[in-house]
Amino acid sequence: MNNVVTVELLKNKVNTYMKKDWPIILKAYNFAKKYHSGQKRESGEDYIVHPLTVAYILSEMKAESSVICAALLHDIIEDTKVTYQDIEKNFNHEIAYLVDGVTKLTHLNFNNQDEFQASNIRRIIVSIREDARIVIIKLVDRLHNMRTIEYKKEERRREIALQTLEIYVPLAYYIGAYKIKSELENISFMYLKPQEYQDLSNKLSNIYNGNKKMLNKMINDTKKKLNSEGIKCQLRIRYKDIYSVYKKMITNGMELNNIHDLLGIEIIVKNIRDCYLTLMIIHNMYIPLNYKFKDYIVKPKTNMYKALHTTVFGQNDRLVQFQIRTKEMDKVAEYGLTSYWFKNKSLAKEVMQNDLENNFQFFKSIEELDSTIVDNIEFVRRVKEELFSRNVYVRTTSGEVLELPYNATPIDFAYKIHSDIGNTMIAAVVNEKMVPFDYKLQNNDRVRIICDKTVFVDRTSWISMAETTHAKKKISEYLKDNK
């Protein structure tokens, strides 16, 4: 969004879904405007433009009023004389709590800049254990800062862009906020590798423009067929984000024209039954590339993304990926956890946290790292290596997908399932073949752990074979208890 956000625009957006809460939001705006008075951004704009824009982006996601207020006030403790107690007195405990959660720590009691920065990053990451809304506000805060990053000096731009890719993009992915994730990735890529960005952008524009007519014909033909079968649907073209394309080319060594999901069509239907009926119809209309079919409805991604993905041969044998999902799945695909704001704002916080704790694998990993590692710099390093870097996705014998860090072994797999599995493991079978304990797991490996409580296995070397902090901790505890 290039235009400057005004309080009138925010009011109009808020009034579309919670008109009765506008008075407290306006109060927060006036409060922030008063105390940020005279402060300027590097762009030369009044500082209030930043929190106002953050609040507006959150209102587009239909955030609750306490979150909108916290967004308006999110820099006020850090940048003015206003205190936590002032916010609590003028508003309420919840708004003050959210503002405090988003506020950076001060340099007080830190020996150097690295420790200070690591402490603030840790504060952001672990806040998700108590309230995911804090992370969401920080992500949107970073999003607006990235949108206006051109006003920073070049060295600072690259530093911020790199941190965004390393910390904020993975956080957005883990909570399913694909829309935020994609924009953060693309802006970061543009400033970190401007020439590669421009070259790839030009190539993709040519491909997309050259195939628009073909995609529109496929949409018209598919919609006509689905309607004739009584399936109400919405269809739209999906172009793959530039950074996602770049990652596939670099990570997998792929040529641009060999990326199977470069061109795509999204189909939104009424219910799950219609998803599978649509899939059947598409496979009757177009020849499918069978090994590229994914059922994320039966087995959702680790961030709860759901859809059916199938790649087919379109006109002139051009590969086109169809993504089929319901309206509810579509909201989750775009907004992740924040999609709960579209359903029931009064229960959103509780449902978000409950869903995180029970269904999102990374939540337990954050808990484990936070409770195990005291040093902030080491904590950030392990989070980057174990959670935010390249991951592998392996399956249990029942088909459940587990997410593990790159270079993880069957030892990490066993302890991720349960410490008792790790402590009684005597062998590991991957894809029906026995493997050594230091075998490096690969994507789509199917892993079976053989356990026997009566058989002794020397585990003294397992700590060096394990990749995850959780596994290393459990092995150390086992060795200590079985001296």
Element (H, E) at 99: helix 93-102
DSSP string computed for 323-361: EEEEHHHHHHHHHGGGGGGGT-HHHHHHHHHHHHHHH-H
The β-bridge relationship of strands 319-326 and 391-395 is: unpaired
**E strand intervals along 63-217:** none
Alpha-helical (H) ranges within 103-131 are 113-126
Instruction: Say how far apart CA 241 and CA 177 lie, in whole Å.
Output: 14
Length of the chain: 483
Type of residue at 265: I
Contact (Cβ atoms closer than 8 angstroms) between residue 443 and residue 392: yes
Residue with tokens 């909201």: 331
Q: Is 114 a catalytic residue?
A: no
- Secondary structure class of 239 (helix, strand, coil): strand
The β-bridge relationship of strands 447-451 and 425-430 is: antiparallel
The catalytic residue among 21, 46, 79, 295 is 79
The catalytic residue among 42, 60, 78, 452 is 78
Q: Is 196 a catalytic residue?
A: no
Surface-to-core class of residue 108, CB atoms within 10 Å of its CB (0-12 exposed, 13-18 middle, 19+ buried) = exposed
Contacts of 165 (CB under 8 A, 6+ apart): 184, 185, 188, 189, 192
Residues designated as active site: 78-79
